[in-house]
Structure 1
Amino acid sequence: METIITVAVIILMIVAGMILIHLLNAQHDERIAAFPYSEALRGSGRRSRPSGQPTEPTEPPVATHHEHHAGGRG
């Protein structure tokens, strides 16, 4: 008898959790519908690049003759 009660309680808790999640999702959807372009969400997209930054990566600087052999054999 205790097993049946335990299983029933577990099933009721699962159903209660499903209902709670459904209600919270509905509330969230209503908020999104009310404020589709809110100010709070504008900054959450891509960060803009500061002006003066190159759009493509630059190549590394080429070593001069002296820099190239500075760590050599001798």
Structure 2
Amino acid sequence: METIVLIAAFLIAIALGMRLIHLLNAQHDMRIASHHYSDALPGVGRRRRKHHRSAPTPTAPVDHTRATR
């Protein structure tokens, strides 16, 4: 009998926790929906560089350990 009561208490606690999480998620969704964010202004954050430089080309490593004559 005690086992059944314990299992029922666990199930009720899980159901209440699920309901609480569901209500908190719904409240959070409503808060997000109430904020109206506009699109970014044209040109803001999209500036182009004055000079279109390409990345430097990699060169072969120079061996400085060899002595030159």
TM-score with structure 1 length normalisation?
0.57
Partner of 2:63: 69
Aligned to 2:55: 58
The one-letter amino acid of 1:33's match is A
Could you list the runs of 4 or more consecutive aligned residues of structure 1 that deviate by over 4 angstroms after TM superposition? 48-52, 54-57
Show the counterpart of 1:5.
5
Q: How many angstroms apart in 1 are the aligned matches of 2:7 and 2:54?
A: 61
Output the CA distance in 1 between the equivalents of 2:47 and 2:66: 40
User: Quick one: distance in 2 between partners of 1:33 and 1:14?
Assistant: 29
Distance 1:23 1:55 in 2: 52
Unmatched 5+ residue regions in structure 2? none
In structure 2, what residue type is equivalent to 1:18?
A: M
> 2:35: which partner in 1?
35
Counting matched residue pairs gives 62
